[in-house]
Amino acid sequence: MPPAPTSGPSKSDATRTAIIAATMEAIGGRGMHDVRVEDIAEAANVSTGLIYYHFKNRQELLRAGLTEALNNCMPYERPVGDLSPADRLYAALGQYLGTEAEAAKQDRIYAEGMRAAVFDPALRPALTSTIDRWESATAGLVEAAFPSGAAAEARPTAKALTALVDGLQQRVRSRLIPREQALELLRAAIDAAVEEVQNGDR
């Protein structure tokens, strides 16, 4: 006797997924502060009452949306083209200082996660996982840019460079420095890190 066909997600699960997807889009589009439950309901094509059936309050809704967004955030693109290893590393990190729509969306989600996790410990695992993926991807590019035998330096250097980008990101977003200056500082940091490892390898 053939096994019974498995059913797809229930209507309730599908509704919850649609609500979270709409919340993710809203957070990425304009940040958490301006997200209204009514806007989420309209985007997900559900009533506000149905949202409160799945989430007890706005905070729980935003936490679920931000957690899912962080789990799908960074690194969003790998550099392509005929680049040297150091240039590939620079391009990979420089994209997080970008102003195009996708970079701005990813940046906003990440920045919202950093801020919210200060007060909401429930968000920290997703944020930690996001940072770990970013550092791991960067570490591979760092290792390729360094001389052979310097693999031990890859993860610490990736951690330092991504932390630098975190700070530069906020200054660019706050319009404290122009993006071009942030990119120059990033390039200087990468060149200094490569030179330091090269000198230590002699």
Question: What digits encode the pLDDT tens for the residues 8-36?
Answer: 568 888 999 999 999 999 998 888 888 99
Domain regions of the chain by residue span: 11-71, 85-200
Q: How far apart are CA 172 and CA 181, in angstroms?
A: 9
* pLDDT (0 to 100) of residue 34: 84
Written as one letter, the residue type at 33 is H
11-71: CATH number: 1.10.357.10
What's the full length of the chain, in residues?
Answer: 202
Predicted confidence at residue 3, as pLDDT, reads 54
* Torsion of Cα atoms, 8 then 12 then 15 then 17, to 10°: -60
- Rounded CA separation 10/55 (Å): 17
pTM value > 0.85: no
